[in-house]
Structure formats: C-alpha cells, structure tokens
Structure 1
C-alpha cells in the first residue's frame, strides 16, 4: 500500500497536467522533472485502473475520467491551500498578469486598464501584448493570470469565458458599389477584389467553406494576419474584407463603410484562464469591469 504522500504527488501531477496541458508545464509548475510527472501519472493510472491521458503525436489530452477526478480534487487542494496560506494570503498584493493580442489591446483594452487602475488605487496590473499563440502558451505555463482574445481557440488546459458575441460584417472603401446594399451576401462578392486573412487563421477556413458552398469566387488581392492591416488595405481602396467588427469597427473607421454580411458566422470575444484554477479576486474584478464598460454596437451582443 502506497504512503499517503505518494498518492498526493500523483494527484498533484494529474492536476498540474490538466491545468497546463503539457508535461513540461506540469513539471515547471511542480518544480520537478518531466520524468517524475510521467512516473506519477503512470502510478495513478495503475492505481485507479483507468486511462487518464491519451498520448498521440506528441500531444497529451485528458480523458473524461481525468477531468472528473480533477474536479473531485478541488476541495482537497482548496483545503491544503488554506492550511499553507502563503499564495492566497498574498494574492491581493500580487499584480494581475494580463495578456492581450495587438488589435484588442490598442483598440480596446489599454484605455480600460488605465480607467480600472484609476478606480482601484493600490492595485497593480501587468499588461503584455502578444499574438494569440503566445497568449495560449503563456496561460498554459501560468506566466499570465488572464488573457482576452477573439480568436477561435480549441486547446485543452485553457478555459474560455465568452462575454461578447459579434456578427461578421463586410467592410469596404467609401464609394464602393456594395455601399448601396443594406446587407451584403456571399453572391455579391463574386469576382470582387477581396482582402483575405492568412490560411493559418481559423477565420480563413470558415470563409473559404462559405464561398465554396455558395459557388462564389471572389478575387483575392491580398492576405494579412490582423483586422487592422485588412482595414488599412480596404481604406487604400484595394478591395473589401469580411471580418469580426469588434473592437475596431465598433465606433467606426474614417473612409470605410460597413454592412452586415449575410452568413452565420460569429466571433466570441473571451476571457482566457488556466483550466482548473479559479481566477483571483483582482482578475474577477477586472473581468466584471470589462463587461460592464463595453459599449453597445450594432454588430454585437453580450453573451
């Protein structure tokens, strides 16, 4: 019969791997080697008689049994945290480590960070601005407490909390022929110069499938990675683009007209948190502040 402390190490390894999504992240969080994490998980799987993680092509995904067990461990680790006290006792004094992609940062978050800190003197917030892939890896490795993104993320180890849903729009230069339409349809883009997003981005696959189903072939004249870049190309008269209106188009952009696009495409803007961890009190306060200060627009609604 294993000693209780050995069982606790196994549970810690399970929790760390579910939370971080990688053995590297789990080992870093626990301060042990990757082999120690793997050994503890193997012992735990043998003890419970269940496969807890699926390993394929270098990826590790928790099974439903692992997620249920991790949820059942919440009271245990909450009690241990109260006993040890150190991390939670200092939580209010620690800064909120926030990470946001460039478009959301420069067009939405920075002004709200300033306003939030003015309303909460004594609080500290660290804002990093990075691409979404860096955001996800940073949340997984617990280098950040909270992220915000409108990207379509499907990754174990992070929890998405949607708070705003926006409907796809078509943006065009002022004076474009499509400006005369109240709603732009996929058929309207047949042969039209189109600024697309790069193929590595999830939105590109969605629009390509939409055009294929509609039998429509726009004329792609440029591809880019960000909404801001796409809109600058539109403003230069290069063509039209189909994109998420939040946050750039929420208040309008000079020399650009916007029309609803007739397609069932929505974008969720979400808070990103490490899976299995409750947000700190400061993170919860900031999330509520963001939700309460987001202005209404014609293309979005609260989730």
Structure 2
C-alpha cells in the first residue's frame, strides 16, 4: 500500500470524481484511476461505485476514511520532522492530550492557550473520545496525557492529583427550580430529566439518591456527554444532573446551575503511561492543567 494511493482515495472521496481529484493532486485522471484500482487490489475492497458522473464511496470506502486521514497526517508530520532535520533544526515538542469531547471546546483550549504563553515553542495534538477510548489511547501510546474519571483499573498508568467535582442541577433559564438555592431529589419528582451515564458508577450513585428519597426519576432522554445534556436542557427538554467541572464548558448556554444535594462526588485525574517516562515539559503541563481544573471546580456552584 502506497501513500500516493491513499492520497488519491482521499481526493476522490472529497471531490467526487477522478477528474476533480486529478486537478487537486496535479496528476492525470488516468493516474488517479490507476491508484484507486491499486488501493482496492491491496485492500481487497471496492471503495467507490459510479453514480452517473460522480464516484460515491461504498460503505467500506466511507469506513476507511478516518484511518486514511490518520495515516496521511502522521506521514505529513514525519516528512515535516525530516525536513527540520535536513535543515539542522530540532523538531518542536508535540504533546498529545486526550480529553472527553465535553471539554474540548472551552476548558482544554483555555488551559492550552495559557500554557502556550509560558511555553511558546510547544506544539499540541488534541484527541478526544469517551473515557474508555482515552484509556486505550494511553495504553497504546497514541496519547501522552489523558483525562480519566476514577476509578481506573488499567495497569501501567500514573496519575496527577485528584480533582473532585460535585454534582449540580442544570435547568433552563426561567425554570421554577431557579428559585431554589439548591436542588434535592424530591424537588425533581415532577420533572422530565436528561440523564447521563446509564449503568456507570456516577449514575448508580444518582439512582440511589432518587431511591433513598422514594422518587422514580422520569427520564426523558439518556445521553452520554455533559455538553449534550446541557444542550438538551437549553432547548427546554427537562433538567439534568451533571458534574461541576465539565458543566463549565456550557456556561454560554441559556441555563441556570444549582448545587445538587446529597453531594455526589466525581473524581478526575490526568493520567499518563508509567513507561516511558514523561518529558519534563509534559510533567509541567500535567501540574499546570491539574491546577487549572481544580480552580474551575473551586469557582463552580457548591
């Protein structure tokens, strides 16, 4: 399999034709066709079907897109590093950080921006996914540092200091619960709810709080990220219980936040592989980011 064949595949996928792909790549249309045929032969898959004048990706062809992008991106970085070496310049340090999507729009960009003011030569690669995917990225060395929710059972990881965040109740502006200084399960007995983490530990704690209060929660929507829950609440689809750290990502939405009682603790750490050891600048980032996250939690409703 050759990189130029993957480049032809991506060009056809984006443009929809071999002619347009040829113009993008600066080669002939027949060369694009040959490269696509060679890639299909190497993979043993049909990647495109013709629909009149357009080439439409097959299901397999669409499925391979993200993998092809990853390969081409890493090849680009390899070429850039080689060029820096040829010119006698040391490559910039790249720090790969993996976080949940729920903190990739506001929280992490703010932390990175502040750290780059101290370390302007550092370069970041930001990855995101659910916590189990982040753990996998750390185990396979795709990420140097990742935010995880405790407990974590995977071996071979080391952790920063724990950042603890309480649960808060999120409601649309103007909701009747806005009049309360804090929200308890009994206050939610008539409310439609948007809840997270079905079958996960934090959700079991919340379900237990409802059970202890003799309340059967009326769950309107199950979702799997704090940003999604807050977005649904902002649209008037019930109220939600989320953690006080990741809700900071959503403060620009038309929502109101109140402490939730009983206090339900969410514990987060910045994790990294024990071997090989982190670079000094990566360790500095772990300390800095942990302090920033703790400050966000301290400023949250309690």
TM interval, short-chain normalised:
0.5 to 0.7
Q: Answer with 204-213 or 285-294: which moved more.
A: 285-294
Aligned pair 1:210/2:209, yes or no? Answer: yes
Normalising by structure 1, we get a TM-score of 0.62
- 1:29-85 deviation digits (Å, cap 9, x = unpaired): xxxxxxxxxxxxxxxxxxxxxxxxxxxxxxxxxxxxxxxxxxxxxxxxxxxxxxxxx
Aligned pair 1:299/2:300, yes or no? Answer: yes
Q: Distance in 2 between matches of 1:285 and 1:188?
A: 44
Which residue number in structure 2 is paired with residue 267 of structure 1? 266
How many equivalent pairs are there?
211
Which residue number in structure 1 is paired with residue 254 of structure 2? 255
Q: Any conservation in 2 of the 1:105–1:129 contact (CA below 8 Å)?
A: yes
Q: Any conservation in 1 of the 2:98–2:134 contact (CA below 8 Å)?
A: yes
Which residue number in structure 2 is paired with residue 279 of structure 1? 278
Q: Which runs of 5+ in 2 are unaligned?
A: 1-89
Which residue number in structure 1 is paired with residue 165 of structure 2? 166
Q: Distance in 2 between matches of 1:293 and 1:242?
A: 23
Q: Any conservation in 2 of the 1:92–1:281 contact (CA below 8 Å)?
A: no
Residues 6-21 of structure 1: pairs in structure 2 closer than 5 A: none
Q: Any conservation in 1 of the 2:160–2:269 contact (CA below 8 Å)?
A: yes
Alpha-carbon distance change, 298 to 122 in structure 1, aligned in 2, over 3 angstroms? closer
3-state DSSP of counterpart to 2:202 = helix
Q: Distance in 2 between matches of 1:270 and 1:300?
A: 21
Residues 137-216 of structure 1: pairs in structure 2 closer than 5 A: 137-150=136-149, 152-216=151-215
Q: Answer with 114-123 or 211-220: which moved more.
A: 114-123
Which residue number in structure 1 is paired with residue 231 of structure 2? 232
Q: Answer with 221-230 or 189-198: which moved more.
A: 189-198
Alpha-carbon distance change, 200 to 277 in structure 1, aligned in 2, over 3 angstroms? farther
Q: Report the alpha carbon displacement of residue 117 of structure 1 after superposing the two structures with TM.
A: 2.6
Alpha-carbon distance change, 249 to 121 in structure 1, aligned in 2, over 3 angstroms? closer
Which residue number in structure 2 is paired with residue 289 of structure 1? 288
Taking only aligned residues, the RMSD between alpha carbons, in angstroms, comes to 2.7
Which residue number in structure 2 is paired with residue 114 of structure 1? 113
Q: Any conservation in 2 of the 1:169–1:260 contact (CA below 8 Å)?
A: yes
Which residue number in structure 2 is paired with residue 101 of structure 1? 100
**Rg larger in structure:** 2
Q: Distance in 2 between matches of 1:200 and 1:286?
A: 33
Q: Distance in 2 between matches of 1:141 and 1:96?
A: 15
Greater relative contact order (Cα < 8 A, sep 6+): 1
Normalising by structure 2, we get a TM-score of 0.62
Q: Report the alpha carbon displacement of residue 285 of structure 1 after superposing the two structures with TM.
A: 1.3
Q: Any conservation in 1 of the 2:226–2:246 contact (CA below 8 Å)?
A: no
Q: Any conservation in 2 of the 1:193–1:238 contact (CA below 8 Å)?
A: yes
